[in-house]
Structure 1
Amino acid sequence: MTEGTTPVSVLDDLAGGLIVSCQPLPDDPDDPMRDPYVQARVAAAVVRGGAVAVRANGPADVRAIRATVDVPVIGLYKHGTADVFITPTAGHAVEVALAGAHLVAVDATDRPRPDRRTFADTVRALRDRTSALVLADVSTLAEGVAAVEAGADALATTLSGYTAASPHTDGPDLALVARLAAAVPVPVIAEGRYRDAEQAGRAFAAGAHAVVMGNAVTSPLWITRRLVAAIRPAG
């Protein structure tokens, strides 16, 4: 995204494209990829390969990636061990936006937030202090509808499969993509366990505005573990 691009046109830049999540594994503090410089180089590689945007975790990685690539950066801030840990407070959301994120991904489920504020409160805080757009990470249709009513600029199905209210499956929740796309007037981004082009194609057919892939593209640790588990003899 070049200088002078307006906030609204950021979403247009994503249409029909692949967004790549450049993040180390959250459950492995010793992941060698856990370094802003490394993540910025990974981001540069996926953008060179055709990614229309990058999703990144934490202010340091957002700053490093924003300085390296010329596509929209979706920022989030994973913090804590409570159910709501993706940009859990308004303060985290503002910090990520001020680090340079064009869109801020925020947990928009109906679960209690650590700062006891609502998702709508977080949207207002971002509007008051930054020009970033708000991407609501949801797990159900009801959460998506409520997030749009609260001011979300776009939705992502990121949290389907990770809440008690959503189905737990090995693959992506394509049904949620279709239900949201038919129900809301904002772009719906398909995210969560997308691992190949066939799944991405099905998401676009269901009405997705864009598709996010992460570990299957950018995590050598995740890819290698999955391959080793598949080729080792049982027992």
Structure 2
Amino acid sequence: MVKPKNKHSLSHVRHDPAHCLAPGLFRALKRGERKRSKLDVTYDYGDGKRIEFSGPEPLGADDLRILQGLVAMAGPNGLVLGPEPKTEGGRQLRLFLEPKWEAVTADAMVVKGSYRALAKEIGAEVDSGGALKHIQDCIERLWKVSIIAQNGRKRQGFRLLSEYASDEADGRLYVALNPLIAQAVMGGGQHVRISMDEVRALDSETARLLHQRLCGWIDPGKTGKASI
């Protein structure tokens, strides 16, 4: 008997632990809070490792969901973006990522696709123009986030992601993910595994925020005790 094909093509995310576990990076936001607050988060996770996130607006559960979808899409279809891209689009993505210090020679990763494909994979409305515009707004908000990552004496700086020639009107998507996420996707270091089936099943901001933190805290197949 042939099993019916899953309408979603992506099963999981290989995400960077720091992006999943930094307290306050993604929050449940009150109405109007984005206009009043800024993003300023520092996460010290031991052994000389420290990461700082800053931006003009705080990030919400909607931004978290979009980033999860982009990282998932990078898994099977992502293209490595090296220090010296050969194409104009690659050079622009690299420029907009604003790599500094050690990051100048680090690989990033490109996601090419469409807003509709991204919406489908995260379980969002596909046929709504407003929903697709909201996805573009989230990506632009994520692009505004600057990161400084310290590992011992090594220091990297970059944008959380960069976007080039993406167009909500015709649905094209062309995004670069920062070197820390790229390393997790490519299996070059520690990563957090997040089930996309679980991501699609969640329907509240609180559930999405808790789910990512729990995935970062507990390895797949293991159990742990949590208190609230």
Which range, TM-score by smaller chain? Answer: under 0.3
User: Which protein is richer in strand relative to its size?
Assistant: 2
TM-score when normalising by structure 1: 0.27
TM-score when normalising by structure 2: 0.28
